[in-house]
Amino acid sequence: MSAALEVSGLEVAYRAARGFVPVVRGVDLSLAKGRVLALLGESGSGKSVTLRSVVGLTAREGARVSGRVRVLGQNVLAMDSRRQLDLRGSQVGFVFQEPMTALDPVFRVGDQIAEVLVRHRGATWAEGMARARALLDLVQIPAAAQRLRAYPSELSGGLRQRVMIAIALACDPPLLLADEPTTALDATVQIQVLLLLRDLQKQLGTAVVFVTHDLGVAAEIADEVAVMYAGRMVERGTAEQVLLAPEHPYTRALLGCVVRGGYAEAPLVELAGSPPDLARLPPGCSFAPRCLSAFGPCGTTEPEERARKAGHWARCHL
């Protein structure tokens, strides 16, 4: 199966008072068409920066980016800004975390969807509006014809997120990037949006990279799971392998923090400490200061990827 996304040796660093600080360190990943990959990890682990680098947004923010990113065989990092702009929206859809800041508050919802089709597909405005109506129906927004004339502030958080999904899917992109699209929603709406994304992905055969810190979300939507810590991928495998038989102590610690039904009397497990300062990373394994299983080499030598089973590896000395 051909790859929709290939990332090799991705390094991203932002300028700070002490020089450039590494935020993403040597990330490699490959995602086949029609598959869903969930990126897991605490805030600051590099998930969102990795996603934004795929479409060239981090370079526009002044970051120093190196490595290789290929979308449908095209080298994104070698493109000029114009070609990257053509790629975004047409071949890669992006669902941002907070729709209220991603949507333009002074334009109606229908205009914002139609604009994507006019820009990337050469549609007329009437054709764009007709397609916008169909997209609102696709993402299950009631009274779609009336919603086309609504401003973002007139919609609930769940409806705004559905509009963001409609915009991302407007040109039927083969790759969809979703950056924690359910974080700002309440639990009921979150489930509705997750089920919608999963159904649309199966219906359209889109490859999806889904960034989240919620393990329940990953279990609900993902075929594959990658866990990030301090800018590195520390474990990767199928959703079943990683979530049911985790190999890395960090993944096991994350799973231990999940509140499960039927365990009302069990104490909540705490993941002690906090992620390291990326400007002053400890020697050896970045997770070693928080790891209950750390031993000699963990504090001096950075671990390499070690395969446990076919398609399942972890970056750990154990």
Neighbours of 65 (CB within 10 A): 20
Picking from 123, 155, 170, the residue at the C-terminal end of a domain is 170
Mean per-residue pLDDT, 242-262: 85
CATH number of residue 274's parent domain: 3.40.50.300
Residue 265 has pLDDT above 70, yes or no: no
Query: Model confidence over 78-126: pLDDT tens digits?
Result: 999 899 999 998 999 999 888 888 899 999 999 999 999 999 999 999 9
Strand (E) positions, 50-183? 64-71, 74-75, 92-95, 175-179
pLDDT-based confidence at residue 146 (cuts at 50, 70, 90)? very high
Q: How many domains does the chain have?
A: 2
Mean residue pLDDT across the chain: 89
Q: Is residue 282 domain-shared with residue 212, that is, in the same domain?
A: yes
Which pairing describes strands 175-179 and 207-211: parallel, antiparallel, or unpaired? parallel
Picking from 136, 170, 204, the residue at the C-terminal end of a domain is 170
Mean per-residue pLDDT, 9-17: 92
Query: Model confidence over 159-195: pLDDT tens digits?
Result: 998 899 999 999 989 999 999 887 767 777 777 788 8
Quote the DSSP letter at residue 123: -
pLDDT-based confidence at residue 46 (cuts at 50, 70, 90)? very high
Query: Model confidence over 195-215: pLDDT tens digits?
Result: 888 888 888 889 999 998 888
Evaluate whether residue 286 is within a structural domain: yes
CA distance 219 to 306: 23
Please classify residue 203 by burial: count the beta carbons closer than 10 Å to its beta carbon, then call 0-12 exposed, 13-18 middle and 19+ buried: exposed
Neighbours of 268 (CB within 10 A): 9
Residue 1 has pLDDT above 70, yes or no: no
Evaluate whether residue 227 is within a structural domain: yes
Query: pTM (2 decimals)?
Result: 0.90
Dmax (CA) for the chain in angstroms is 67
Residue 298 has pLDDT above 70, yes or no: yes
CA distance 76 to 68: 8
